[in-house]
Amino acid sequence: MTNVPAGYVAVRSGLGEAPPATIIVLPVIFEGRVKAVIELASMQQFSPTHLDFLDQLTDGIGVVINTLEANMRTEELLKQSQILFAEAQEASKSKSAFLSMAAHELRTPLSVITGYLSMLEDGTLSPDKWQRPLKVLIGKATELNSIVDDLLTAARIEGGTVRTDTKTLDLRELAHLAVARAEARAGLLKAEIIYAEPDEPVPVSGDHEQLARVIDNLVNNALTYTADRPWVKLTVTNDGGPGLIVEDHGIGIPRDKQEKIFERFYRIDDPNLGPQPGTGLGLFISRELAERHGGSLIVERSEAGKGSIFVLRLPAATAPHPSGLLVNLPSAPIIA
Ligand code: ADP
């Protein structure tokens, strides 16, 4: 382009600037596709030698740009395949960990059940002495049931198919019921359970079954992980939003494990306590469910040998909206 319009572009140097006499626009083509465009402006005319040189130059640049692009694509693909490989490796590792844990956990109660059943079958025990074996059998079957339940819930959480039936619930009521459910076990363990709640309802919106499961898990852990007679305190609060505090005087959790216990299958082997039944899924499931409700579950404080405090926080229930009417809702929530 030799008739450069005024003001189109200026050639600048350290001292000054002036409109160019010629502008040359060079498409960089590789295999029929424009890869780039180079614009050069000059104060003089380009000579045929210049033009020839630039023609050859753009061919070379086209090849270089294409090679760079191909390299970048290869690098990106390599990165992606490395990520996929790591993910596949991780999945296969956790799958085998899952299978061996599940098999181990199921085998322990099953072998007790098989033992008792063959004892009943061989006739050495008269039916009037069946009371104790039957009790053990029922206990072990219940244990199997809850292991299978944990495994199914964890699988549903991972598969994203947990269904939530949300209603407005009083957190005090949920805690009451959990204490009532824990009483039989607490009696066997000669445990002390203390319960405290505010006078006013503590409305939360959530799934009754799922929240009951979270609270049961916290209470059961507090009863389990202790070397002496268990002591557990449940406090329902509405300070800073609805919450449930579960405190125990148990073996405590070392600081570096206080987050790890929320991971799938993570358990701490305590030499003073001996082997305890469990899948290491309870707290994983509980935290997932709490978070799905828009709440949280944390270890607030724990000290080895002194005990632990777990805190479950849930969002306050909002008052149900009267259908089709836009009104100013009362600030106090309505309990369904
Ligand atoms: P499980 O009880 O089936 O092992 P959880 O996920 O409920 O699985 O707990 C994981 C681990 O965290 C337990 O194995 C135990 O070591 C530790 N833990 C949980 N709750 C307490 C507690 N209240 N006191 C001390 N340790 C606890």
- The domains located in the chain, with CATH, are 11-159 (no CATH), 166-335 (3.30.565.10)
Distance CA 31, CA 329 (A): 68
Identify the residue whose C-alpha is closest to ligand 1 atom 27. Answer: 225
**Chain Cα centroid distance, residue 71:** 37
224 CA from centroid of ligand 1 (Å):
8
User: Distance between CA 316 and CA 217 in Å, rounded?
Assistant: 22
Residue 288 tokens, joined: 């997932």
From ligand 1's centre to the CA of 4, what distance in Å? 79
**Which residue's CA is the closest to the ligand 1 atom numbered 4?**
280
Q: Which residue has the higher pLDDT, 328 or 50?
A: 50
pLDDT band at 147 (very low <50, low <70, confident <90, very high): confident
CA distance 114 to 288: 35
Going by pLDDT thresholds of 50, 70 and 90, the confidence category of residue 329 is very low
State the DSSP H helix or E strand holding residue 244, giving kind and residue range, or none if neither: strand 243-248
Residue 43 has pLDDT above 60, yes or no: yes
Residue 146 has pLDDT above 70, yes or no: yes
Share of the chain above pLDDT 90, in %: 58
Query: Residue 32 corresponds to which tokens in the numbers above?
Result: 């029929």
User: In ligand 1, which atom is closest to the CA atom of 279?
Assistant: 3
The pTM of the full predicted model, rounded to 2 decimals, is 0.68
- Provide CB contacts within 8 A for 42, sequence distance 6+: 11, 20, 21, 22, 23, 24
Cα 312 to Cα 104, 156, 215, 317: the distances in Å are: 30, 22, 8, 15
C-alpha torsion angle, residues 289, 157, 301, 190 (rounded to 10):
80
Residue 243 in contact with residue 237, Cβ under 8 Å?
A: yes
Cα-only R_g, the chain: 35
Beta bridge partners of 67: none
Which DSSP string corresponds to 55-105? HHHHHHHHHHHHHHHHHHHHHHHHHHHHHHHHHHHHHHHHHHHHHHHHHHH
What is the number of other CB atoms lying within 10 angstroms of the CB of residue 105?
22
Atom of ligand 1 nearest to the CA of 278: 3
Supply φ then ψ for residue 90, to 5 degrees: -60, -45
Residue 280 CA to ligand 1 center (angstroms) comes to 7
> Which residue's C-alpha comes closest to atom 8 of ligand 1?
280
Residue 254's SS3 state is: coil
Take atom 21 of ligand 1 and give the residue whose Cα is closest. 221
Assess contact for 252 and 306: CB atoms under 8 A. Answer: yes
> What pLDDT is stored for residue 323 in this prediction?
42
Chain segment 88-104, per-residue pLDDT in tens:
888 788 778 778 878 88
Q: How far apart are the C-alpha atoms of 199 and 203, rounded to whole Å?
A: 12
Q: Which residues line ligand 1 (CB under 6 A)?
A: 217, 221-222, 225, 248, 250-253, 261, 266-268, 278-284, 308
pLDDT at 201 over 90: yes
Tell me if residue 188 falls in helix, strand or coil.
helix
What is the number of the ligand 1 atom nearest to the C-alpha of 262?
6
Q: Give the model confidence (pLDDT) of 218-267 as tens digits.
A: 999 999 999 999 999 999 999 999 999 999 999 999 999 999 999 988 88
Give the atom of ligand 1 at the shortest distance from the alpha carbon of 222: 23
